[in-house]
Amino acid sequence: MQRILVTMAFVAAVSLAESAKADPYRWCAVYSGGGAGGGGTNCYFMTIEQCRAAVSGVGGFCTPNNFYDGRPVATPEDAGRRRR
């Protein structure tokens, strides 16, 4: 019984990993911040120019997103519309 549960958990984990989508955001802004809390991080930039514009004037720097892998991301809109 225990082997069956372990096997089922493994199969579920593998299928979830295969169905995961790539992160389309290549750049992260790391904001400088004063005080004990420090700044924040925002990893929702597709281009370095977008990231640099976000940190301009408020302080910080841009860094590559560690979760970006370069694979294209498919969205439901890419499939096209169904016609009746």
Q: How confident is the model over 13-36, as pLDDT tens digits?
A: 544 444 455 678 999 999 987 666
According to the model, what pLDDT value does residue 50 have? 96
Question: d(Cα 76, Cα 24) in Å, to the nearest integer?
Answer: 15
pLDDT in tens, 47-82: 999 999 999 998 999 999 998 988 877 777 777 655
The domains of the chain are located at 22-84
Residue 7's pLDDT is 53
- Residue 34 has a CB neighbour count (10 Å cut-off) of 8
pTM for this one?
Answer: 0.57
